[in-house]
Amino acid sequence: MVRFNKKLADRIFKMDRYMNKLAGGEFDYEMPRELMQEDDEIKSLAHDGKKMARALKTLVEFDALTELNNRRSADKKLSEVRIRMVEMGMKYCVCIADIDFFKKVNDTYGHEMGDEVLRMVAAKLKKGMVGKGFAARWGGEEFLLIFDGRELDIAKRELSMIMDDVRTIYVPDTDRQITMSFGLTAMIAGESTDEALSRADANLYEAKEGGRNQIVCK
């Protein structure tokens, strides 16, 4: 009985610690195996805890409309990238992208159609970044792309293919083509993420001022 109670108390303690990790936002914290070994109420709670972790991660880290990572998870990724650059010498490029004349889409066809365009663009970006890096909705009609292990010229070539794929999007049941402008830059070891983002944002501004539907890279 003493051994049973000790084992039960240990499992309850680990369950409590797991739930506290979830409460602290550590949604990838691994569920202790001991909680799943007995067919009892604690195992049932552990199953519920895992479901809760998945649901909370989706709610907190993903954009509900586009199903891309949201700005919170993008900021987290940028912090991780900065550390890897310093500690491991890895190379990264970052891009801020914006849907051209998106306000006109909303004004002409309505916000529901605008939402559909956002979903279609997000799907192209997500598909285009598979095996290349990370895509997130940065806010409104802006998106953030992070290219892993790429020199600037390689990232630009891969981004050009994504841009061409976006050009195949048309507002449903219309002849209005969707295009995007892109500001791309290489991240520099030792600089802050804000410095890299500011450079990418300046490149995006230049792309928009220069006629849109293009990549500015430097």
Interval 62-121: pLDDT, tens: 999 999 999 999 999 999 999 999 888 899 999 999 999 999 999 999 999 999 999 999
Structure confidence by residue, pLDDT tens digits, 193-205: 999 999 999 999 9
Query: In the predicted model, is pLDDT for residue 175 greater than 70?
Result: yes
Q: Do the two domains 2-60 and 71-217 of this chain adopt the same fold?
A: no
Q: What residue segments make up the domains of the chain, in order of their start?
A: 2-60, 71-217
Q: Given this model, what pLDDT does residue 41 score? A: 75
132: CB partners within 8 A, 6+ apart: 147, 148, 150, 158
Distances (CA, A) of 95 to 4, 123, 209: 56, 17, 17
Pick from 61, 161, 173: which is nearest to 117 by CA?
Answer: 173
Structure confidence by residue, pLDDT tens digits, 133-166: 999 999 999 999 999 999 999 999 999 999 999 9
Q: Given this model, what pLDDT does residue 55 score? A: 64
Cβ count near 28 (within 10 Å): 8
**Average pLDDT, whole number, for the chain?**
90
In CATH, the number for domain 2-60 is 1.10.8
Cβ count near 64 (within 10 Å): 9
10: CB partners within 8 A, 6+ apart: 34
Structure confidence by residue, pLDDT tens digits, 27-64: 778 887 777 777 777 788 777 777 776 766 666 789 99
Rounded to 5°, angle at Cα 67 from 62 and 69:
40
Q: Given this model, what pLDDT does residue 26 score? A: 77
Distances (CA, A) of 189 to 70, 93, 152, 194: 24, 11, 14, 13
Q: Given this model, what pLDDT does residue 200 score? A: 98
Q: Which residue has the higher pLDDT, 15 or 89?
A: 89
Q: CA 113, CA 150: separation in Å to the nearest integer? A: 35
Q: Is 133 helix (H, G, I), strand (E, B) or coil?
A: strand
Query: In the predicted model, is pLDDT for residue 173 greater than 90?
Result: yes
Which residues are catalytically annotated?
141
Say whether domain 71-217 belongs to CATH 3.30.70.270: yes
